[in-house]
Amino acid sequence: MNTNNGKHSFLFWLTIPVIILWMSISYVIGFVREKPEWYKKPVETKATDVKSYMQEYRQISNNLDQAFITFWFDDAWLSQYLEAYPILKSYNYPATVAVPTDAIETPNYMNWSQLRVLRDNGWEISDHSRKHDCKMNTWEESQISEELRMSKLILWKNRLSADIFVTPCGVDSDLMRLEAKKMFIGYRTVDPGFNNPTDFDFYNLKVKNIDNQVKIEEAKDWIKYAKENRLWLIIVFHKIGENVVNQEDEQFNTKLDDFKNIVEYVKSSEIQVIVPSQIMSAVII
């Protein structure tokens, strides 16, 4: 009788449950460590309780009684990375990009690596839905909830996260706001206006939208007004410096020289350039 085979068989069957136990423990530990903050966070938590939930950004001055500017780029166009990012980086300015996750890695849009480069250089990532459906304001509650959940999950799987939801095409509805409040600490459409740095609605951020109807002097007037009245100005851009046959046919393409001019004017105005989470975290201290 071969006793060695019996010993080997016994050791083999003893090893299996040990391996299973080790894998189970590793999975639980990994899940706890790696699951995103929004997954762990109770949905009923209010925005005023979530400072630790935000990504870490350079703290701004405790004095909020001054002007601020945010450069916000919608749709994650490739030209934002190739043209706008180097210009802003030369001034050491951060910015924010709204990411429609299904568009990433497709022609004329950024890829995930480029988005992580922006994030690593002080840019804030905001969620811009999965499909960028301009009729999202007509959706049912369950559709909206699933869209927001999946876009957040896709960002997380690509080592990114977002605390603010930017609606596709600026559309809005009560259901969209309701569902966004369960998963995000901020909400942005394209409602025009300025924000009071010391007293603004996290779920009703006002913006100035750049399109081909906006003249460079008008944009400078926004900046001047924000400076004089100590307001937070959010300027929304889309494509930057793209080659188009007829500029008038491309509503949301900003000429490269115009973009440079705006950034230079911000610099000369000595207004602090921030990302949204910097001022939001300062407000709720």
Please report which confidence band the pLDDT of residue 282 belongs to, taking 50, 70 and 90 as the band edges: confident
How confident is the model over 183-214, as pLDDT tens digits? 999 999 999 999 999 999 999 999 999 998 99
The predicted model scores a pTM of 0.80
Predicted pLDDT at 9: 59
Average pLDDT, the chain: 86
As a whole number of Å, the CA-based R_g of the chain is 23
- DSSP one-letter string for 69-138: EEEEEETTBHHIIIIIHHHHHHTT---EEEE-GGGTTSTTB--HHHHHHHHHTTPEEEE--SS--TTGGG
Contact indicator for 75, 170 with CB cutoff of 8 Å: no
Q: pLDDT: is 194 or 12 the higher one?
A: 194
Q: Are residues 144 and 9 in the same domain?
A: no
Q: Are residues 86 and 150 in the same domain?
A: yes
Q: Which range of residues forms the domain containing residue 197?
A: 50-283
- CA 227 to CA 232: how far, in whole Å? 9
Q: pLDDT: is 19 or 136 the higher one?
A: 136
Q: pLDDT: is 179 or 282 the higher one?
A: 179
End-to-end alpha-carbon separation of the chain, Å? 76
Q: Are residues 136 and 23 in the same domain?
A: no
Q: Are residues 15 and 55 in the same domain?
A: no
**45 found inside a domain:** no
Q: Are residues 178 and 257 in the same domain?
A: yes
Contact indicator for 72, 207 with CB cutoff of 8 Å: yes
Amino acid at 179: E
3-state secondary structure 173-212: CHHHHHHHHHHCCEEEEEEECCECCCCCCCCCEEEEECCC
Task: Compute how many other C-beta atoms are within 10 angstroms of the C-beta atom of residue 30.
Answer: 10
- DSSP one-letter string for 140-156: -HHHHHHHHHHHHHHHH
Q: Are residues 118 and 56 in the same domain?
A: yes
Query: Which residue, among 175, 166, 200, 204, has the nearest Cα to 279 in the 3D structure?
Result: 200
Predicted pLDDT at 131: 96
How confident is the model over 164-175, as pLDDT tens digits? 999 999 999 999
Residues linked to residue 208 through DSSP beta bridges, in sequence order: 235
Counting the structural domains of the chain, the total is: 2
How confident is the model over 241-257, as pLDDT tens digits? 998 766 665 789 999 99
How confident is the model over 105-123, as pLDDT tens digits? 999 999 999 999 999 999 9
CATH of the domain at 62: 3.20.20.370
